[in-house]
A and B are shown apart, each in its own frame.
Chain A
């Protein structure tokens, strides 16, 4: 790390930039602690999620001088998830703060969650004084070593003069190229020392694009040629559609060439679910017609997705007759899982902008035979859909999701946890807008929903935000209920309570002879738990109660918990067993009604 340049001339030239704290525009002497906040302020941060402790105390002491809101979490994992939820909802960089040692290690799951889903967050941790680094001092832990494989990059700062430059660089790294988490570990003595602070002079060098990006015209033309000639094309829309804000271009491509669009879990919302060309979610719990369409296609146009094993099934039999075009910002993803015919390596939006002029609209006298063929295959699936069966008095999670979608007109931000409820939400809540589904896809982190939703609500206070969590995952970070109460957030929380670690129970049912080892789950009375936090709550046992309860939660100002007591041994269909081909799925049973514990 070089020394931040002292440049007195900057102080006058940037005087116009002066912000609320009056520190960003001027070269002034500040403590390292003050610089942390001044730099964050300069980067446009107005809220951080954190938890104090000895090694970060100097920074906390300086916070009162800055116009930055601090949300006190109940566990640092929550802080990282909140920063993550904030980033996913807003498209901005989320920030979390923790002390050294246990504070820092508690962040790790949250950091890894952001890493696997390419979410830009900056984590600031306190560290023991540089004089005792490496001595196993009290609460010393090598957090940069620990987080090395789960951050895009990380830094140790031991001098006040490096604080501003490093934090500014961290923001740049977090959001450039394929985004991801960056951790900045700042020793206590660096926080306490003073140095010259000049925000403008601390600007990092422009980020160098990955040297292996490649969107040359030959590849664009080759891609256009494949698209023009395809008879059975499918677009695979991933998280990159949201991150590159390429929704409009994607839609133009789909509509102009009449190409159906399948989404990954993280891609949902990137293409409107209500659009006639939308197929819905692909992969392990995708509807049969989606996966069949992919298997039968002659061209896959993968946009900002990475052919994860949850969407391909076994690779040997994946879309055997399809040529593949891969448009992806990370060169390391090309040919990693699936060998592709044409790769456009670069920003998705830019690549699509370059591609579209080469594509004349497909002649559309009526829908293409391909789209009709897919449409026809939907009908058979719909018969088995639980929504089309008469109300038996049982409450199914699918009903809850469907009704929630209706009641919120599909416009809420839904933050899901991990498990069956996550898949039911993805199947039955139709997302038309990007960034309205926030979920942990890559890492599949239980406990994500509540804290991430707190972050999302703070990022988008005017949006209706719903947590959808299982009874298991909710308990992993339930302590953040207190955070929601303390921050007086108007947050709606739906617990899909099936009395099991449901997704694991489902695997045990299908693949382990119903040996329900360690999956039945005793939970507290969630309504009483909410009440203990001063939060309103309601239990729902029947379909008829769903809409009124949702309406009550919507009307109520402040957090509201609904405990949906759903069918205990329901399963998510269809399902492709891990390691099977994409078309070898376990279909919905003809009669999904199962005997339940409630009946006995």
Chain B
């Protein structure tokens, strides 16, 4: 329960990736950076203009634009 798009997650929220809908180059880049279904992530913050978003995955910090985050579905950990 509680799947949202990464774009809509708030700083501090945790979750697990359920789906990556991007295809082509973007899809490949997202996977290259270690985001595949089952990957836990944590929203670290947002840039001063609220875009891009910075997330913590697999022990490093990744930033991506909101329109790229739109392809990533996350099951949010409600307790976070």
A binds B: no
Q: Which residues of A contact B (CB under 8 A)?
A: none
